[in-house]
Structure 1
Amino acid sequence: MTLSHLALVVALLSPAAWSYVGCHQSRDEFDNLDCLNDIYQQANRDLGTSYKTLDRYLDDAGKTALQRSQRDWLGLRKRECSYRNATGFYINFECATRITSKRTAFFADRIRECRYSSCKNNML
């Protein structure tokens, strides 16, 4: 099994991914929005937990690299999954959840490296 397959399995086993199935049974767009928001919030909590876990393994240089890469990633998520126009700010929760779950899987890979070999700051 390749790392990308493993990341997909991790993402599919996350609480956020399983909750998404129920959103397709929503009565209307507003129910769907509430559901997708809940799923995104769970994915974001999972990401925060993974970030904190990874941070505990890192030396000072690694912590700095992690902070920098996370800021860059937040910008990417904003560019990819949201936009602003004259009527407001819009977020595509499916996109945000997908990208956030991928980032969580990336952190899981880095945590595994730190636990079983050594943390590689250049991978952050």
Structure 2
Amino acid sequence: MRAAACILAAALAAGAAAADDPCPNATSQFDLNQCAGEAYGRADQRLNREYAALRGELDAAGQARLKAAQQAWLKLRDLDCAYQTHRSIGGSIHGMNVAFCRAAASEARASQFERWRRELGEPQ
């Protein structure tokens, strides 16, 4: 059940409709694991782009705070996904579960950075 939720969250975060399969061509667990890894890779690239864009809008003190917050968030994301996927440890589905969990969390964080960057331009 949690795996299905992670897959759905990743698909929604990537802008897919709820009915879309994030891995339509997967025919094996290997394919699903590879698809999940690719989804995580795309989400991580977006996260890094949004982080850099936000960082570029900040002064030195803001950049230092953002860096500290992001380092803490990365640890939280990984620990949170480790907890969320702990029941599949030892199974062939575990890598997919972790990758989709990290992808969904990274997409959400990238959206948060994007929102914060927009808010920087708004009058106080």
Q: Secondary structure at the match of 1:26?
A: coil
Cα-Cα RMSD: 2.6
Task: Pick the aligned partner of 1:117 from 117, 120, 123.
Answer: 123
How far off is 1:116 after superposition?
A: 2.6
Q: Secondary structure at the match of 1:21?
A: coil
How far off is 1:34 after superposition?
A: 0.3
Q: TM-score, normalization: structure 1?
A: 0.71
In structure 2, distance between residues paired with 1:115 and 1:47 = 20
Q: Secondary structure at the match of 1:111?
A: helix
- The residue number in structure 1 matching 2:6 is none
How far off is 1:25 after superposition?
A: 4.1
- Number of residues of Structure 1 aligned to a counterpart in Structure 2: 102
In structure 1, distance between residues paired with 2:35 and 2:101 = 14
Answer yes or no: is 1:98 the counterpart of 2:123: no
Name whichever structure is richer in strand by fraction.
1
Using CA pairs under 8 Å that are at least 6 residues apart, name the structure with larger relative contact order, 1 or 2. 2
> Which amino acid is the alignment partner of residue 46 of structure 1?
R
Q: TM-score, normalization: structure 2?
A: 0.71
In structure 2, distance between residues paired with 1:43 and 1:109 = 16
